[in-house]
Structure 1
Amino acid sequence: MEVVIKAAQFILSLSFLIVLHELGHFIPAKIFKTRVEKFYLFFDYKFSLFKKKIGDTVYGIGWIPLGGYVKISGMIDESMDTEQLKQPAQPWEFRSKPAWQRLIIMLGGVIVNFILGILIYIMITFVWGINFVEADGVKDGFAVHETFKEYGFKDGDKITKFNGVKPLDVRDVNKHLFLRGITSIEVIHTSGKTETLTIPENIGEIMWEKGIMQPFKVRILPIIDTVLANSPAEKAGLLKNDKILSVNNKLTPYWNDFTELVIASEGEFTIKVERNGTIKSMSLITGEGKKIGVAPNKANSLSEQHKKYSFLESISKGNSIAIWTLRDYITQFKYVFTKKGATSIGGFIAIGSIFPATWSWQAFWSITAFLSIMLGFMNLLPIPALDGGHVMFTLYEIITGRKPNDKFLEYAQITGFVLLIALLLLANGNDVVKLFS
């Protein structure tokens, strides 16, 4: 059932983004009196699930859920239909339009993506507000990865400032370290001493190469709040409010100790819990991804605050979230070009997995906003077959006054399409390998 819910959210989000992105091309094309032959959600190789012709345009739904497209007359696109280019140019064709109009038509999709992302973040901020945790809200401090202890951090540290500035949410420390160039963190040690610790400027690269994506974990008492139905935990007899004492006779003072020991187990382990003053021992076998189906009670360890925003405040805050989302995505994009990055690229399974297992409109819109920003950036890359490739050639024409010939554009489109297919196979191949490993 969890897979069905995740898949439903993914398909709904993807469909929503595809239709609006293609509308970004469709509307300016119509404004400039350019004929649009097809408007499709998903690809329709050989046949369509649905299609209907209205005016000059066939609207339809394809059967291959890898994207969508608008087919514009007189344009070399992913359809690779070059027959009409052998005929004299017609006034309604894309190739007959001035370069500035063609540029607007090609930029329309990514502009919609960015605007949509901003609008969704504004809506999320206004409707749900923002939850955050200040330094004192992490009652038992953070558990620190061994690598970061070399910089002077200690288990139980409370984080107060990033680069001398008090953060809105101290839980953002890992993201800021990886993406936003933190070079110093102020902490309060368990001894009560306040200290500012220096971090290498290339800390993001260090985290990436060593696979330390969460060097700081909030220390939460190991008390169970939720036991999922039909999970290994439920089958073993674990209950809400059980306090986990040990795994394979190793003590678990905090939840992170418990999870690390479960992950380190060989798939089967012994757990001791305290229930109503009585110690009980039971054996468990981990499920998919070394998960057993329990979640902690954070109330005694984490004090979360909530901030509501007026509509005007939401506009400013939503814009800020969208801008930082784009900046963070661009920053992490450089890691794609590393050896490790090539094996870390994810496809549809990876994207679908980020949706929650239970339906949540807040999570759905938050992920959709992120995907919209991501798709906008990806489509702007100067790769033939992407919007960015068409934009690149059009800008070249505007600057030099010379239009690339159709044969060159055709070969460029083929090259770009082959490259995209290769990336698609790599990403989804990685998903399959991870799924079975």
Structure 2
Amino acid sequence: MTTYPEEFLRVIIPFGKLFSKPVFKHVKLMLAGAIPAPGKRTVSALLCIVGLSREKKFHKYHRVLSLACWSAQKASLVLLTELLKCFLPEGPVIVGIDETLERRWGRKIEQRGIYRDSVRSSNSQFVKSSGLRWISLMLLVPVSWAKRVWALPFLTVLAASERYNQGHGKKHKKLTDWARQMLLQLNRWLPKREIIAVGDSSYAVIDLLAALAGKVSFITRLRLDAALYEPLPLRREGQVGRSRKKGKRLPTLTQVAQQADTEWQRIVFSHWYGHKEKCMQVATGRALWYHSGKPPVAIQWVLLRDPEGKLGTSALLSTDLTLTAEQSINYFVRRWSIEVTFQEVRAHLGVETQRQWSAKAIARSTPVLLGLFSLITLIADSLQGQGKLQISQAAWYEKKHPTFSDAIACVRQLLWQESSFCMSAQKDDMVKLPRGQLLLFQQALTWAA
């Protein structure tokens, strides 16, 4: 009988209500195998790492992803609830939304498309890659023992390509359509919490911001030449005709930045990009952002200028008019941790190494691996409370705070040590292991590449 550490079960048990008992038994074993597995995160690799390479009914584990009846959306809600309970029991919920490309090839992967590869592209080179485009919603929350903000994924959806939708007679949904649905779903899950979302310039769209007005606040980049207007004037008594949508046209932010009478405030940000201290000049104001045929959106704009001249002038917008300029900038800077998470799940959790062909398995495997990042963080937080979270050190590299590589290493160590493998006292110089377990360790190390 397989045994699991208490810290692992405490995080996994809340998901048990989403599965039948036989399926949940397989889910626990697959998650326990996905954490220590090196290299590819295929179902076969998970079975091998937990010692089930001779399992004749291996198809049961494949069916967890391809056939079993369970809701990924409900699993996202459970994961979000656990993350908030652990890291953010009260206060505004700051979430980041961004998309990433999972490079995949093969004719049997139906929703595969050709997209711009942001990792391989640059300002002077445009690179396209074949793959699946995922949009992920992550909780941007400070992790006390890491001394920085981590992006913890909890809801990820597959955004099919326009060519795929046209070929299957489906209406194509843009990134902003997916973002609207995901953020409104989050608002339904957390009706009593203030939600602030941050995203890059892809989400600076009037239709999206108008749809979220009054439900989810949004902070994103703003074009310096955006058409801004004064707030809507009050309707006069006895006025004939329909009400105006906007007031007088305001100068563009480019013009505002060049005006001599613009009031700039110097603010020192202690957590700038790269977790460095940075002094910036900031100017702010309120306006209506409007385009013909679109609903006007009330925003607070923030201009940023580098006194050292190393960074170009840029602008942000916030649909929450109560936030200060400093708060808006600090929340937006948290978005950088999303890119870190995407890199970590590729380096440590095997994203882009899956080999599923079933449409349902494809739609489930990548969100599960992204969610595994958050699960490992929850387990690591429990280990930190017990003083078991260690930091890898070397003579040539001093690390002050744990990173995700330390977190997953300690969780892996927990799974190995607490699985009834040890046959002698822990304080002895020599520890005896069953021969089968020793061979399993050897196989995992020798075939790691």
Name the TM-score, length of structure 1 as normaliser: 0.23
> Max radius of gyration: which structure?
1
